[in-house]
């Protein structure tokens, strides 16, 4: 019985560590034209998909957004250089982030750890009363 309990605890520990290993924080920054301040962003990536982004654009506007993805049938980033890549075991995930002139993210696309294609094109600011900050 004790051996079974120890094995169960060991498997749970490995599962928790494996689940936590799927979250990565990707940092980007750069200069802004005509300003001494630059832009920056931190993108949270889970299993090869951005799930959250926070940062400051060139106009000084701070943003903090959950990212709702849509699964699509075809590779939306074919021909683009990846902004971020990573691996999930033997699989590679890829992300492209497109920004506007103020370096605010306006579109993302990529491929997940399970080889599914996705896009994120809803970057609306939260509306009053939205539970999850998306509308």
53-112 tens-digit pLDDT: 999 999 899 999 999 999 999 999 999 999 999 988 888 999 999 999 999 999 999 999
Q: Is residue 126 part of a domain?
A: no
Strand order in the sheet with 23-30: 23-30, 39-46, 49-56, 62-66
Q: Is residue 12 part of a domain?
A: no
Q: Is residue 15 part of a domain?
A: no
103 near 112, Cβ under 8 Å? no
Residue 125 banded pLDDT, cuts 50, 70, 90: low
What gap in Å lies between CA 51 and CA 48, rounded to an integer?
9
DSSP assignment letter at 66: E
Q: Is residue 77 part of a domain?
A: yes
- Between 61 and 15, whose confidence is greater? 61
What gap in Å lies between CA 28 and CA 50, rounded to an integer?
14
Q: Is residue 72 part of a domain?
A: yes
DSSP assignment letter at 13: H
Q: Is residue 74 part of a domain?
A: yes
Instruction: Output the pLDDT for position 83.
Output: 95
Query: Is it the case that residue 3 has pLDDT exceeding 70?
Result: no
The reported pTM is 0.74
Query: Is it the case that residue 49 has pLDDT exceeding 80?
Result: yes
Nearest to 106 by CA among 72, 55, 71, 32: 55
Residue span of the structural domain in which 30 resides: 24-120
Q: Is residue 103 part of a domain?
A: yes
Domain count, the chain: 1
């Amino acid at each position: 019985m004790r051996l079974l309990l120890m094995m169960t605890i060991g498997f749970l520990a490995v599962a928790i560590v494996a689940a936590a290993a799927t979250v990565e924080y990707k940092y980007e920054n750069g200069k802004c034209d005509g300003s001494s301040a630059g832009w920056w962003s931190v993108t949270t990536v889970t299993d090869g998909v951005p799930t959250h982004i926070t940062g400051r654009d060139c106009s000084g506007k701070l943003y903090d957004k959950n990212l709702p993805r849509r699964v699509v049938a075809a590779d939306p980033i074919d021909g683009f250089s990846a902004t971020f890549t990573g691996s999930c075991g033997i699989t590679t995930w890829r992300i492209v982030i497109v920004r506007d002139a103020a370096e605010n993210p306006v579109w993302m696309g990529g491929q997940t750890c399970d080889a599914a294609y996705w896009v994120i094109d809803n970057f609306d600011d939260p509306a009053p009363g939205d539970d999850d900050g998306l509308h």
